[in-house]
Structure 1
Amino acid sequence: MSAITLKNVEKWYGPVQVIKGIDLEVAPGEFVVFVGPSGCGKSTLLRMIGGLEEISRGELLIDGRNATSEAPSQRGLSMVFQSYALYPHMSVAENMGFSLKTAGAPKSEIDAKVGAAAEVLKLDPLLERRPKDLSGGQRQRVAIGRSIVRDPTAFLFDEPLSNLDAALRVEMRYEIAKLHQRLQKAMIYVTHDQIEAMTLADRIVVLDAGRIAQVGTPRELYERPANLFVAQFIGSPKMNVMECSVAGGSWQVEGGRGAPGAPAGAVHLGIRPEHISILPAGQGACDGVVDVTEYLGADTFLVVDCGPLGRLTVRVIGDTDINPGDTCGLGFDTEWLSFFDSDGQALR
């Protein structure tokens, strides 16, 4: 049985449809991440699952029961928002146990659940503090702890780390991953940060204009995108995509050189920056002039102007002695080529 199932779910605001027939199953204990550009519907879809937005059409099942028309409090879900939304006049312990208190739980049960959640989140020394005395990361842990004490069927996270600085984001990402391992509860997480998506998810759901563009593991989406949208959305830097022609099973890029192994109907060729090698001019698939070098320590990214093909990004491990203005050839690793048809759908 799935923890959460969406069956042809739609959302309409008057004549405008923003969620366009979503079918998805989230297994018990699975970590699913929604990603996509701004306005694609990822937060709206999460709020529909949580009951904060009405489902216009379709069905929502939670643990096998139809929860489409249930109030948020009846769904057995817990939501963590971008805003911490802590009560400033309450202590950490009081904030974490407030939902249990309003539900009429006995003090002994509240204390036990708050204590257990505080131990998981390393909040034991902070239970008597007020929110104003906490760092941003500590406040977010309190907000997560407030969800844990309810023992929900699943956790819903709506960009919970976007208010934190870079160092705290890394720390909290680790803590959320460890929390998932420990609780073994289904989690649905919305983010625009690809690093969060790739490192946290068991499966990623890529949304495009209210539809699912692809669902798969981070490796599947990165290595074998189902379409051009996913190919150029997943990955930083994004996949290099260029037009190609196919004849007799061989591909060729404009103004360059080709190789055998192209499927019929291919009009676009894609390749990740790490699968391009720097060669002497006249060798490889095409030639170009290095436009910009970006040294990042462990890697260097070269932006190479290849004329009619446009600018291609090449990843070099470590440093390189190649400088802007140098001419070079680019070799494509044929094992990692992606081909797309005229509709942008992957051919292999």
Structure 2
Amino acid sequence: MASIELKAVEKWYGDVQVIKGVDLAIEAGEFIIFVGPSGCGKSTLLRMIAGLEETSRGQIMIADRDATAEPPSRRGLAMVFQSYALYPHMSVGENMGFALKAAGASKEEIAAKVGEAARVLKLDALLDRRPKDLSGGQRQRVAIGRSIVRDPTAFLFDEPLSNLDAALRVEMRYEIAKLHQALKSTMIYVTHDQVEAMTLADRIVVLEGGRIAQVGSPRELYLRPANLFVAQFIGSPKMNMIDGVGSMLRSISAPGGTAHVGIRPEHITLGAAGSGQIDGVVDVTEYLGADTYVIVDCGNDLRLTVRVEGDTDLRPGASCGLTFAPEHLHFFDGSGLAIRAA
């Protein structure tokens, strides 16, 4: 495993700048996830680390070595893509060992490394099968196994679960988390799915428009977002946001300069109309089993989402009051930056 550091990294396509001066230090053995909406630059940044995209400006350091100008083959990294890209005419074992065979490794070395990777990924019983005989999750495990046998300094994952259905994504999240625990390798993972980011990462790098909006642990980003973008991107459902305080909210003590007030769905309590900070009418209820999301129309095009227990008597059309937990209020200024308590 190796540390990776990006120093003022930029990427230009002609006159268009897509990565805008990224500085980031990744510790050896750390699981880092790049997350953000489509077009934010997360896959481009990953490909720059891999050497698949040229770095226009700045430095990429791998294990304290300047690798900025090195070709991918010299960087010692292994990349797992969305597409499994398995050879259909080869068995699972042959697919996993192909890179070693091409590098001239002995049959004994290939067998040992493929066997160990298969054990870690629970593919022991599948080594003689062809890719067409595997499920999507099994194929992705084979693609990961192909990377493991190379004993890379770090693993790079480019949205590896996006081609899987919902159930398989949950299963593979677990597999990847266990893999990181077993290998203790440096891993950089790209996804647009903030649930994947929250459940897998040691630290999350939130990207917006080619820049880092915030870096931190999942807990830090959820509880202390640095700006409006992070506040509403991290969390499902997203944080409720109310423009201004003014006459819309009752008994809210906001810091000077507050332009937006945020509150997460689980930090709102529903009660009788006239109680709390604002009144509204239940618009829609979304039953999810253990939880129900109650969407309340508060007028002036403001709808707030409230998380309650799964069994609720509230029905569309019911009037209610919403009470905000004061310790969980978030305040943002006119430029979208969080206002921290002094």
Structure 2 length-normalised TM = 0.98
Please give the alpha-carbon distance, in whole angstroms, between the structure 2 residues aligned to 1:243 and 1:95: 55
Task: State the match for 2:248 in structure 1.
Answer: 255
Moved over 3 A (4+): none
On the 8 A contact 1:242/1:309 being kept in 2, the answer is no
Amino acid aligned to 1:280? A
Amino acid aligned to 2:248? G
Task: State the match for 2:241 in structure 1.
Answer: 241
1:137 correspondence with 2:130? no
Amino acid aligned to 1:52? L
On the 8 A contact 1:205/1:214 being kept in 2, the answer is yes
> 1:73-92 alignment to 2 at 5 Å?
73-92=73-92
On the 8 A contact 1:11/1:56 being kept in 2, the answer is yes
Task: State the match for 2:321 in structure 1.
Answer: 329
Please give the alpha-carbon distance, in whole angstroms, between the structure 1 residues aligned to 2:265 and 2:137: 34
Q: Structure 2 unaligned segments of length 5 or more: list them.
A: none
Task: State the match for 1:24 in structure 2.
Answer: 24
On the 8 A contact 1:2/1:25 being kept in 2, the answer is no
Structure 1 length-normalised TM = 0.96
Task: State the match for 1:119 in structure 2.
Answer: 119
Task: State the match for 1:250 in structure 2.
Answer: none
1:149 correspondence with 2:149? yes
Task: State the match for 2:13 in structure 1.
Answer: 13
SS in 2 for 1:74: helix
1:278 correspondence with 2:274? no
Distance 1:254 1:154, change over 3 A: farther
SS in 1 for 2:248: coil
> 1:28-107 alignment to 2 at 5 Å?
28-107=28-107
1:297 correspondence with 2:289? yes
Amino acid aligned to 2:250? R
Task: State the match for 1:269 in structure 2.
Answer: 261
1:310 correspondence with 2:298? no
TM-superposed CA distance for 1:133, in Å, is 1.1
SS in 2 for 1:259: coil
Amino acid aligned to 1:315? R
Task: State the match for 1:248 in structure 2.
Answer: none
Please give the alpha-carbon distance, in whole angstroms, between the structure 2 residues aligned to 1:308 and 1:331: 18
Distance 1:9 1:43, change over 3 A: same
Please give the alpha-carbon distance, in whole angstroms, between the structure 2 residues aligned to 1:317 and 1:151: 47
Task: State the match for 1:210 in structure 2.
Answer: 210
On the 8 A contact 1:46/1:156 being kept in 2, the answer is yes
- The CA RMSD over aligned residues, in Å, is 1.1
Amino acid aligned to 1:326? A
Q: Deviations over 1:114-136 (max 9, x none)?
A: 01000100111111111111111
TM-superposed CA distance for 1:41, in Å, is 0.5
SS in 2 for 1:330: strand
Q: Deviations over 1:52-100 (max 9, x none)?
A: 1111110000000000000101101000000000011111111111111
Please give the alpha-carbon distance, in whole angstroms, between the structure 1 residues aligned to 2:320 and 2:39: 40
Task: State the match for 2:311 in structure 1.
Answer: 319
Q: Deviations over 1:194-220 (max 9, x none)?
A: 211100000000000000000000011
Query: Percent same amino acid among aligned pairs?
Result: 75
Amino acid aligned to 1:334? P
Please give the alpha-carbon distance, in whole angstroms, between the structure 2 residues aligned to 1:164 and 1:65: 36
On the 8 A contact 1:255/1:308 being kept in 2, the answer is no
Amino acid aligned to 1:216? G
On the 8 A contact 1:19/1:41 being kept in 2, the answer is yes
Q: Structure 1 unaligned segments of length 5 or more: list them.
A: 246-252
SS in 1 for 2:98: helix
Amino acid aligned to 1:345? L
Amino acid aligned to 1:146? R
Give the length in aligned residue pairs.
Answer: 340
Please give the alpha-carbon distance, in whole angstroms, between the structure 2 residues aligned to 1:91 and 1:200: 30
